[in-house]
Amino acid sequence: MVAQVAGVVGSNGGATAGSSAWEALAGQTWPVMVQGEDEMMPQPEPSRRVDHRARVEDIMNAMAQGRVRPLFDAMAEDVTWRWMGVKQWSRAFEGKQSVVDTLFGGSSETLPPSSTVEVHCIHADGDFVVVEHSGRNELSDGRRYDNNYCWIFRIEEGLIQEVREYMDTQLVTETFGPDDSA
């Protein structure tokens, strides 16, 4: 059982609403002692649930600023990144290093200056966070590659364990040609 500090004022002249001590305590959650048969027994505090949505929102905001390091830092070493396409564009990249090297071209810090990310919406439910976003890219030969994505993150113990990436695979084929490695 927990109690949330509200407007309780001590009779000994302690902190009152508006004082800095009170403001520091307001909204805090504290364990409550419950009277047992023979003694006071501390009750377990409810487990704190990590805010996966906020974590992914921070990652995507960093990507919108061109920074990919927060994404990589949030990945488990054994992360799996899946392209959810069909035929040649359906595959899995196993491990953080494979994701960094293969999907992000070895970049460990930033996206190329000609690439931008625009987040449209983020939804979360339990250990899953869904992000709809667009990537706008100018390729080294001057062609445009602008695709829309849906990434589904599965997060456990604070780390990204899996990403399922949905995209327009026809656009990928038209832009890059067939994937001969598939």
pLDDT in tens, 93-106: 999 999 999 988 87
Stated as kind and residue range, the H or E segment containing 78 is: strand 75-84
Coil, strand or helix: which one is 139?
A: coil
Residues near 128 by Cβ (< 8 Å), separated by ≥ 6?
52, 152, 153, 154, 155
C-beta separation of 106 from 134 below 8 A = no
Overall average pLDDT of the 67-81 stretch: 96
Mean pLDDT of the chain: 78
What CATH class has 52-176? alpha beta
Residues of the chain by 3-state class (helix, strand, coil), percent to 5: 25, 40, 35
**178 falls in which pLDDT band (50, 70, 90)?**
confident
- Report pLDDT for 89: 84
Positions of CATH 3.10.450.50 in the chain: 52-176
- Model pLDDT, residue 44: 41
